[in-house]
């Protein structure tokens, strides 16, 4: 990385996950400076990718490493000779606030949007050693922050930028604590999760580390007063002290950067880590979080560890031999997993989990002065500054070895989370499984072994030898879930073995419950019942999830051998083998269970297959289910319906076959002849003598002008079962009235025959014939001639002479002389009416003759100035026609108009006759005939008031060739 032409070039680190693990974890790179520097660096800070450099001349350089083209060059209000050289810089993690302190105790504040530092007058004379920024990281103001001074005092201050000249930057300044043993070399404040009124403050001095946790004060107006006073006044700190401290040794407090990417369940890296540099080494631990603050500090310090300075390898002398004296540590920072220390010009990185030194490299040359190590807590970058140079400590795949350390310390869950490659995860899983087996935790080991590559047979035999069938089942489930889909045979074998294990477990639990015996010292029958339910649910989940890996036939055999009816049927249901489920219940004559299965089906074939047996045993419920299906072919259900009708003996009103057929006809509008013929067959073959139901159906077909049944089939069936009324109706619907009457009379149904004869009123001859047949039957059956004659009076076509041939020879005329007299009187009246009609016709003919003669002498008067109604020219100018309506036309005008209005044929004939007459084609009588025909065609009717004029009703009054102005209103 380098500053080229005043700019910053980021290191070429592509995706860290793709870097080779052989690359060094830490590498120190020199940052080249391409801009002129007139003096040495005296202080430096980095935060949120913003670099702040302080020069001995009092200048401050502010560089945004994301867009480094522009460098802000800022001067302090006064010269170094007046205020001293810049001693320290304190930059908050968001890079919004900068506090500057000088060697003469002058302090300044610079906001990120300002270019002129403002004097902190209330902090004049305070030598600042450390700053605890507000944990909420505000940007507009600092809000409440803590400042540690060289005299051991801790101040709370609230700094807010202001453009007003006379207004101080500090809203307030208050001393809140006094450390008894030297300067405050480090201070940190953070929140307690879940409690807005709690704070934690960690204070470091050269000899002690103090931990405060408790409630803070609250005020109505923000920034109006101290909030930390209450904490320091009411809470006693937990103190971590070391024996034999050296107050003159460098001391500082560091906190780990914010996590960029951490496992969601990481028990190791989810909490911040602190490190305290003191004379004997580095003390580090987690900043534990807990809502209970009373023991928080003691818990934090109880889990701290110390990395002694003596474990840092000594540097070498000029002769290449290690020095005898211990090298001094001048600076220390924390990365995510390591403690970075500056040791006599060397950068030493120590893994804080196992205190191993992973990096030790000399960076500085002899005589170079280091300003110290700096960490960017937000961007996870690490820097080393000297008075002349800048180095960046580039970290590559820092957590690569974390899994090994966790595995070594038997923290298997954490090791699994930090393992990246499949080989690493497998190593963790194998070691974890072996550890759990050694402790007798077989169930936990099963889940872990399932994710490892440890030989299958070894793991299986381990569980079998120890009698851990539950662990074996869990192992097989885990193994099955991780096995590739392409390993078909292995998946089938594992799944089948699991079915066997599930059945054995369920049988064991059932036996325990039945005998009410204790399964073990800690499990009674009630617990077995709960475990039975749990195991059954596990089996159901397994069958649903892995049904594709199970062979149906094999699974049926395995489950059946254990006698597990519920599990057998559940599996069949899961794999949609409803044929098996239905066959199972039907074989055991469990009709309700069969219907429960059938209710959930939509496949028509299942209904066709089992409809016969179900219709014979539970017809009502089956029909209810079938009526809710919309995809059934009623034709395929006919055998089941006929079989049911054959064995049942219920009234037609309760016959379920009739009910379903009517449903198909009325609701689904079925026109299938087979459906209708089946209904007729059931009606006709029923033992009842009442055929009203059948007749009602046949009549409904007639009323709807339909005949969806086969008439010949229905007729033969009705004749076979002597359904006379239905036969007569069918004959009538076929318009075979003679056969209908003959059949009715054959069975002495005289009234029925009479009704048929009455219906056939379209043909009087046929109707008379039918009534003669009825009369013959009535006369032959009647005990009295009078009664027979009264019955036959219902027909107005029969006369007494038609009936006489049907009477017996011994009947005397006295028995019906009244009827004969009445007939003779009727004939006399008819003769009189005919004579009267003849007289009226003769009179009418005479009038017609008189009118014809009058027509020959009819004439019309034409006035001299009268004009043609077509061309409006004088009428007498050429040949013309005058009609009785007094309309007159020229012959040619009338002919032209008639051609326009007449049809095509008549118009063409008129044109032909006009040509024939005008050219003299015919002579003599032929010409006269042509003229008469032409006159007859042209002068047959007036074109203005005859039928031809009616055809002009849709013609407009004003034609397209008329003068529109004449018609204007």
Residues 6+ apart with CB under 8 A from 311: 281, 350, 355, 357
| Separation between Cα atoms, residue 97 and residue 139, nearest integer Å | 7
Is 7 strand, coil or helix?
A: strand
- Residue 6: which of 69, 61, 50, 60 has the closest Cα? 69
CA angle 448, 453, 455 (to 5 degrees): 105
Q: How far is CA 407 from the centre of its chain?
A: 43
pLDDT in the model for residue 268: 46
Structure-token pair, residue 690:
């009442």
- SS3 label, residue 202: strand
Q: Of all residues in the chain, what percent are helix, strand and coil, respectively (each to 5)?
A: 45, 20, 35
**Strand 186-192 to strand 170-178: parallel, antiparallel, or no bridges (unpaired)?**
unpaired
In sequence order, which residues have a C-beta less than 8 Å from that of residue 257 and are 6 or more positions away? 334, 335, 336, 375, 376, 377, 378, 379, 380
Q: Which residue in 426, 424, 467, 468 sits closest to 446, CA to CA? A: 468
DSSP 73-135: EEE-SS-HHHH--EEEEEE-TTS-EEEEEETTS-EEEEETT-SS-EE-GGGTT--EEEEE--T
Rounded to whole angstroms, how far apart are CA atoms 332 and 282? 9
DSSP string, 295-343: THHHHHHHT-EEEEGGGSPPPB-TTSPBPSSPPPEEEEEE-SSEEEEEE
Q: Which residues lie across from 214 on neighbouring strands?
A: 199
The predicted structure's pLDDT at residue 159 = 92
| DSSP letters for 668-698 | S----HHHHHHHHHHHHHSS-S--HHHHHHH
β-bridge pairing 338-343 and 329-334 = antiparallel
- Structure-block tokens of residue 807: 């009477």
**Strand, helix or coil for residue 836:** helix
Sorted by sequence, the CB contacts under 8 Å of residue 966 that are 6+ apart come out as none
Q: Quick one: which of 309, 351, 313, 315 has its CA closest to 334?
A: 351
CA nearest neighbour of 819 among 803, 806, 831: 803
CA distances from 582 to 455, 540, 562, 572, 577 (A): 43, 20, 20, 10, 9
At residue 334, the pLDDT reads: 94
Q: Cα(585)–Cα(595) distance, rounded to whole angstroms?
A: 9
Compute CA 489 distance to the chain's CA centroid, rounded to the nearest angstrom.
Answer: 35
Please tell me what DSSP assigns to residue 38: S
Residues 6+ apart with CB under 8 A from 292: none
Q: Which two tokens stand for residue 769?
A: 């014939």
Residue with tokens 């004959």, as numbered in its chain:
731
Q: What is the 3 state secondary structure string of 513-552?
A: HHHCCCCECCECHHHHHHHHHHHHHHHHHHHHHCHHHCCH
CA distance 397 to 406: 16
3-class SS of residue 268? coil
User: What 3-state class would DSSP assign to 384?
Assistant: strand
Residue from 960, 943, 946, 955 nearest 899 by CA: 943
In terms of Cα–Cα distance, which of 534, 536, 514 is closest to 525?
514
Q: Please give the Cα distance from 647 to 540 (Å, whole number).
A: 41
Across 934-947, b (16+ Cβ under 10 Å) vs e yields beebbbeebbeeee
Please provide the DSSP assignment of 422-471 as one string: HHHHHHHHHHHHHHHHHTT-HHHHHHHHTTS-S-HHHHHHHHHHTT-HHH
Q: Which helix (H) or strand (E) holds 882?
A: strand 880-882
From the DSSP assignment, how many helices (H) and strands (E) are in the chain? Answer: 33, 32
Task: Report how far residue 93's alpha carbon sits from residue 45's, in angstroms, rounded to the nearest whole number.
Answer: 10
Tokens 């110290």 found at: 372
Q: Mean pLDDT per segment of 10 residues, for the chain of length 969 residues?
A: 38 37 79 73 92 90 82 88 92 95 93 91 93 92 93 93 73 90 92 84 93 81 79 91 71 88 48 90 89 80 88 70 71 93 91 89 87 92 92 88 81 79 80 80 82 84 87 88 89 92 87 65 65 88 90 91 87 86 86 87 87 89 89 89 88 89 88 88 86 85 81 88 85 80 78 71 68 69 60 60 56 58 69 84 85 74 85 86 86 84 79 78 75 81 80 71 63
Written as six digits, the tokens of 592 are 């309700």
* Predicted TM-score (pTM) above 0.95: no
pLDDT for 88 equals 94
pLDDT of residue 312: 86
**Residues sharing a CB contact under 8 Å with residue 699, sequence separation 6 or more, in sequence order:** 729
pLDDT score, position 795: 62
- In degrees to the nearest 10, what's the CA dihedral of 55, 60, 65, 71? -110
Please state, in angstroms and as integers, the Cα–Cα distance from residue 418 to each residue in 267, 724, 750, following that order: 11, 94, 104
- CA distance linking residue 627 with residue 332, whole number of Å: 84
Q: Cα-atom radius of gyration of the chain, to the nearest Å?
A: 60
Q: How far is CA 601 from the centre of its chain?
A: 24
What is the reported pLDDT for 256? 92
């Amino acid at each position: 990385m380098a500053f080229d032409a005043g700019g910053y070039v980021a290191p070429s680190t592509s995706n860290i996950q793709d870097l080779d693990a052989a690359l060094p974890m830490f590498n120190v790179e020199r940052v080249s400076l391409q801009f002129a520097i007139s003096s040495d660096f005296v202080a430096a800070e980095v935060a949120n990718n913003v670099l702040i450099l302080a020069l001995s001349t009092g200048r401050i350089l502010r560089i945004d490493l994301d867009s480094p083209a522009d460098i802000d060059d800022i001067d302090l209000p006064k010269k170094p000779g007046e205020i001293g050289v810049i001693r320290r810089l304190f930059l908050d993690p968001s890079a919004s606030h900068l506090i500057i302190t000088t060697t003469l105790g002058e302090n300044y504040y610079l906001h990120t949007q300002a270019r002129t530092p403002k004097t902190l007058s209330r902090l004049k004379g305070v030598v600042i050693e450390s700053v605890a920024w507000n944990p909420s990281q505000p940007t507009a103001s600092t809000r409440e922050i803590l400042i540690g001074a060289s005299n051991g005092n801790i101040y709370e201050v609230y700094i807010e930028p202001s453009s007003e000249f006379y207004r101080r930057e500090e809203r307030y300044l208050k001393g809140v604590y006094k450390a008894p043993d030297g300067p405050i070399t480090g201070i940190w404040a953070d929140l307690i999760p879940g409690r807005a009124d709690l704070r934690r403050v960690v204070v470091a001095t050269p000899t002690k580390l103090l931990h405060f946790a408790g409630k803070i004060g609250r005020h109505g107006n923000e920034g109006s007063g101290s909030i930390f006073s209450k904490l320091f006044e009411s809470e006693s700190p937990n103190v971590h002290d070391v024996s034999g401290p050296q107050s003159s040794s460098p001391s500082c407090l560091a906190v780990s950067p914010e996590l960029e990417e951490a496992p969601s369940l990481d028990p190791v890296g989810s909490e911040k880590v602190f490190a305290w540099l003191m004379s004997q080494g580095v003390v580090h631990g987690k900043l534990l979080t807990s809502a209970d603050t009373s023991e928080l500090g003691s818990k934090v310090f109880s889990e701290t560890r110390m990395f002694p300075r003596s474990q840092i390898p000594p540097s070498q002398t000029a002769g290449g031999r290690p020095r005898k004296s211990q090298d001094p540590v001048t600076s220390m920072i924390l990365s995510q997993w390591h403690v970075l220390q500056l040791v006599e010009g060397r950068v030493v990185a120590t893994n804080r989990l196992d205190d191993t030194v992973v990096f030790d490299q000399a960076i500085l040359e002899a005589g170079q002065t280091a300003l110290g190590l700096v960490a960017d807590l937000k961007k996870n970058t690490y820097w080393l500054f000297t008075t002349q140079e800048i180095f960046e400590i580039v970290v590559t795949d820092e957590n690569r070895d974390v899994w090994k350390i966790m595995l070594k310390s038997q923290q298997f869950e954490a090791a699994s989370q930090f393992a990246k490659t499949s080989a690493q995860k497998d190593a963790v899983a194998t070691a974890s499984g072996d550890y759990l087996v050694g402790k007798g935790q077989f169930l936990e080991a099963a889940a872990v072994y399932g994710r490892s590559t440890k030989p299958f047979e070894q793991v299986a035999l381990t569980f079998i030898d120890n009698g851990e069938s539950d662990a074996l089942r869990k192992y097989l489930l885990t193994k099955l879930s991780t096995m590739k889909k392409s390993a078909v045979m292995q998946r089938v074998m594992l799944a089948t073995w699991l079915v066997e294990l599930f059945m054995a477990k369920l049988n064991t639990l059932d036996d325990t419950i039945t005998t009410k015996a204790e399964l073990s010292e800690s499990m009674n029958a009630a617990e077995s019942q709960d475990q039975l339910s749990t195991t059954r649910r596990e089996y159901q989940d397994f069958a649903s999830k892995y049904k594709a890996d199970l062979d149906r036939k094999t699974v049926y055999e395995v489950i059946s051998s254990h006698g597990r009816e519920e599990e057998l049927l559940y599996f069949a249901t899961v794999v949609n083998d409803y044929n098996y489920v239905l066959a199972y219940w039907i074989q055991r004559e469990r009709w309700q269970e069969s219907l429960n299965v059938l209710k959930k089906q939509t496949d028509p074939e299942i209904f066709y297959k089992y409809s016969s047996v179900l219709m014979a045993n539970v017809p009502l419920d089956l029909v209810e289910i079938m009526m809710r299906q919309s995809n059934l072919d009623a034709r395929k259900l006919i055998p089941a319906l006929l079989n049911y009708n054959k064995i049942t003996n219920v009234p037609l009103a309760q016959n379920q076959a009739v009910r379903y057929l009517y449903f198909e006809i009325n609701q689904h509008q079925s026109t299938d002849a087979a459906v209708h013929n089946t209904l007729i067959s059931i009606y006709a073959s029923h033992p009842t003598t009442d055929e009203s139901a059948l007749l009602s159906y046949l009549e409904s077909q007639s009323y709807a002008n339909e005949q969806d049944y086969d008439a010949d089939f229905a007729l033969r069936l009705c004749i076979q079962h002597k359904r006379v009324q239905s036969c007569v109706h069918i004959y009538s619907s076929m318009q075979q009235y003679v056969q209908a009457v003959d059949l009715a009379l054959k069975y002495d149904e005289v009234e029925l025959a009479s009704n048929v004869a009455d219906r056939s009123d379209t043909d009087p001859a046929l109707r008379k014939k039918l009534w003669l047949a009825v009369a013959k039957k009535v006369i032959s059956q009647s005990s009295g001639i009078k009664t027979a004659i009264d019955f036959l009076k219902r027909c107005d076509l029969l006369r007494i002479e038609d009936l006489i041939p049907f009477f017996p020879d011994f009947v005397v005329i006295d028995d019906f002389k009244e009827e004969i007299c009445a007939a003779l009187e009727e004939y006399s009246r008819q003769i009189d009416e005919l004579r009267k009609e003849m007289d009226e016709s003769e009179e009418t003919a005479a009038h017609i003759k008189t009118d014809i003669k009058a027509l020959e002498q009819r004439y019309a008067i034409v006035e001299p100035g009268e004009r043609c109604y077509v061309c409006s020219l004088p009428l007498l100018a050429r040949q013309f026609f005058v009609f009785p309506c007094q309309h007159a036309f020229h012959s040619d005008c009338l002919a032209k108009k008639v051609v326009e209005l007449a049809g095509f044929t008549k118009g063409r004939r008129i044109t032909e006759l006009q040509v024939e007459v005008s050219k003299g084609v015919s002579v003599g009588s032929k010409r006269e005939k042509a003229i008469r025909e032409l006159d007859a065609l042209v002068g047959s009717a007036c074109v203005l008031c005859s039928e031809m004029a009616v055809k002009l009703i849709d013609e407009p009054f004003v034609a397209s060739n008329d003068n529109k102005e004449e018609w204007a209103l």
